[in-house]
């Protein structure tokens, strides 16, 4: 009996996923655990494994399509087995057909990201089998349709190194990736390279056309959650500055004499953990008529990625040393940018740290990630001259912005928390003991 492969639901809020590329084609023999596709969920990019042994009987979705969760995207069974009837409303498997021109689907029926131009049925099937977005294929048909030869030509061209988002943007805008010089390692193309290329191609003084760029799943879900946060939480932000002159000196000594690489953010994470331990109400969540004081400190660390903002979570952060915390944070941030986080690594946070200091930001209003009680914004380090007695000295001051849920923590309690944090950053030896 044939078994289905579906678009997985990796979280309660996930409603749809983007099928980035197929790693198999119809007729391939696979085993349980084999990677069949790469998908983008509401939180990260992940590899989709097969739960069955067998032969790929049919592929129902094209690369680049946005597909509702739990919808069937492929069938696995025995060679020669009939493909089950596709439920109403779902995509049907591409059928073998003569190379006659197939008109574009009605706009209301086309899923977001799908190709809506003309292509022959055989070309559509071949593109689906090879995981090629039709929007990136140059048509050669007399009526502007894509034919099999066009897909074969696209498949034979040297592979261009590009991120999934860059590929989708190029397909949506009709830009050939082969003509773009990537800024990444080995010439890998990023979304920013497409924007730069588009700007360079515009002649001075000429009218410039608008560019429509679809939001990624992550960007849409993040926007929705942030709007809900602002609409439902009475949030207040307090700002202060910490003298981190000693902390930076300790960090430099550790990195030079111990041969390790500890970042400024690592020190902030340690200080946040100790401040949360001293002020457990900030590590609680609001649950209708009561508070839940969380037993563990699970720190969310905001990471900017090409697909949008992600917040991987360091679980049981209170049990880690500075070096362990640094290694864990670096690992999660790296895999977040590569789209390789597991769903469990994106959930369960009790407090979040968002660092934008590298951009020269001196103060901002970070938005709470529900149901957490607060979020700490870390700002830039600035040089400031101070008078100590009769001597003028140069000090380094870091901005700190704490947004808190006023239902959980009042202004005085939040002030105590951020003062504790400030004192720890200003006394690095005490903080590390």
* Positive or negative: CA dihedral 402, 403, 409, 412: positive
Task: Give the separation between CA 2 and CA 80, rounded to whole angstroms.
Answer: 11
CB 39 within 8 A of CB 45: yes
Nearest to 314 by CA among 276, 345, 283, 338: 345
- The token pair at 385 is 């001259």
Sign (positive/negative) of CA torsion 107, 112, 117, 118? negative
Whether residue 8 contacts residue 217, with contact meaning beta carbons closer than 8 Å, is answered with no
- C-beta of residue 314 within 8 angstroms of C-beta of residue 332: yes
Is residue 273 a contact partner of residue 336, using CB atoms and an 8 Å limit?
Answer: no
Residue from 320, 278, 327 nearest 298 by CA: 320
Structural Rg of the chain based on CA atoms: 26
Report how far residue 295's alpha carbon sits from residue 372's, in angstroms, rounded to the nearest whole number.
14
Q: How far apart are CA 299 and CA 283, in angstroms?
A: 10
How far apart CA 343 and CA 350 sit, in angstroms, is 16
Expressed in percent and rounded to 5, the helix, strand and coil fractions of the chain are 35, 25, 40
In sequence order, the 6+-apart residues with CB closer than 8 A to the CB of 253 are: none
406 catalytic residue (yes or no): yes
351 neighbors 376 (Cβ within 8 angstroms): yes
Closest CA to 341 of 316, 366, 365, 307: 307
**Overall size of the chain counted in residues:** 433
Which positions are annotated as active-site residues? 406
């Amino acid at each position: 009996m044939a078994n289905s492969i579906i678009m997985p639901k990796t979280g309660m809020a996930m409603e749809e996923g983007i099928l980035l590329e197929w790693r198999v084609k119809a007729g391939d023999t696979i085993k349980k655990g084999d990677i069949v596709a790469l998908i983008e969920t509401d939180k990260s990019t992940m590899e989709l494994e097969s739960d069955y042994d067998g032969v790929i009987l049919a592929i129902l979705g094209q690369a680049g399509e946005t597909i509702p969760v739990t919808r069937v995207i492929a069938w696995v069974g025995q060679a020669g087995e009939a493909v089950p009837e596709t439920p109403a409303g779902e995509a049907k498997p591409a059928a073998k057909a003569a190379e006659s021109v197939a008109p574009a689907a009605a706009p209301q029926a086309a899923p977001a990201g799908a190709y809506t131009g003309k292509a022959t049925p055989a070309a559509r099937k071949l593109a689906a089998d090879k995981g090629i977005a039709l929007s990136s294929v140059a048509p050669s048909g007399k009526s502007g349709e894509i034919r099999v030869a066009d897909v074969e030509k696209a498949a034979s061209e040297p592979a261009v190194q590009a991120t999934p988002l860059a590929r989708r943007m190029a397909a949506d805008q009709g830009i050939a990736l082969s003509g773009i010089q990537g800024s990444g390692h080995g010439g890998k193309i990023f979304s920013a390279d497409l924007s730069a290329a588009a700007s360079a191609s515009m002649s001075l003084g000429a009218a410039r056309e608008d560019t429509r760029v679809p939001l990624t799943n992550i960007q849409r879900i993040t926007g929705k959650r942030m709007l809900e946060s602002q609409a439902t939480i009475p949030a207040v932000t307090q700002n202060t500055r910490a003298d981190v002159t000693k902390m930076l000196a300790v960090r430099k000594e550790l990195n030079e004499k111990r041969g390790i690489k500890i970042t400024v953010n690592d020190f902030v994470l340690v200080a946040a953990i100790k401040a949360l331990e001293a002020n457990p109400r900030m590590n609680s969540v609001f649950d209708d008529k009561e508070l839940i004081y969380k037993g563990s400190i699970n720190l969310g660390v905001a990471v900017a990625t090409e697909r949008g903002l992600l917040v991987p979570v360091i679980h049981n952060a209170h049990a880690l040393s500075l070096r362990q915390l640094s290694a864990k944070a670096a690992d999660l941030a790296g895999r977040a940018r590569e789209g390789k986080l597991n769903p469990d690594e994106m959930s369960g946070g009790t407090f979040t740290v968002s660092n934008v200091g590298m951009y020269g930001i001196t103060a901002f209003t970070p938005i709470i990630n529900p149901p957490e009680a607060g979020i700490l914004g870390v700002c830039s380090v600035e040089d400031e001259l101070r008078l100590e007695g009769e001597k003028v000295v140069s000090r380094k001051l870091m901005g700190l912005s704490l947004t808190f849920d006023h239902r959980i923590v009042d202004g005085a309690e939040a002030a105590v928390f951020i003062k504790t944090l400030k004192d720890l950053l200003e006394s690095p030896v005490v903080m590390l003991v």
